[in-house]
Amino acid sequence: MRRWIVIAIMLGAVGAPGGAHAGELHVAAGLDAADTSWKGDSAGYTRLEGSYRWKRWSVYAMSKGGYADVDERLLQHIGVGGAVWASWRGTRPYLRLGFTHQHENPRAAVDADPAGTLLGYGSGIRHRGGAGGGVGMQIPLRDTKWGDFYVEVETYADAMLGEQGPAWYWGAGAAVGFRYELGRKK
């Protein structure tokens, strides 16, 4: 196992651009549309995400709030993981993998205990865990002295454990964000 970690670090160092690089902070907000493995079920989400990128690697955290058709479910999704980045024709494509945790709240449970639902302790909440990944691209829009504004597009899939809900969610989304380059000369 240690050998694979060393190989991964070496590949990251070789594939990374040269020069001093203190890293980047990314923050974005957007909308997602998803289909699920349940027949006739689809979902819509709002998304807020943040990440720290160093050379070609990053760690991210994302939070989504949404609604799905079957059971009229309110969805609360949290994801954390890592990504590998590239540079292609002025854009920033990436591949991300991570872990997910989602609350699925039927409408009746939301109506009975709105505060408990929002805070994650209400009765009727179905806690789901799993793994997910996505392929996306950031397209820079406007450069500033601190970084740049960008549009991000992504397609993704999440596999969820347990039988309380759909086994799969897959979809696509778009977001707008800002990339702050740490240590950039102003």
We report the CATH number of the domain holding residue 107 as 2.40.160
Instruction: Domain of residue 111: give its range.
Output: 40-181
pLDDT digits (tens, 9 = 90+) for 57-80: 999 999 999 999 998 899 999 999
154 in a structural domain = yes
Domain count, the chain: 1
Dist CA 136 CA 181 (whole Å): 20
Residue 25 lies in a domain: no
Which amino acid, one-letter code, is at 93? Answer: P
Is 133 among the domain residues?
Answer: yes
Using pLDDT thresholds of 50, 70 and 90, give the confidence band for residue 2.
low
User: Is 10 part of a structural domain of the chain?
Assistant: no
95-119 pLDDT, tens per residue? Answer: 999 999 999 988 888 888 888 877 8
In the chain, % helix, strand, coil (3-state, to 5) comes to 15, 60, 25
Amino acid at 83: A
Q: What is the mean pLDDT of the chain?
A: 88
Q: Is residue 126 part of a domain?
A: yes
Say which residues have a Cβ less than 8 Å from residue 65's Cβ, sequence separation at least 6: 45, 46, 74, 75, 76, 77
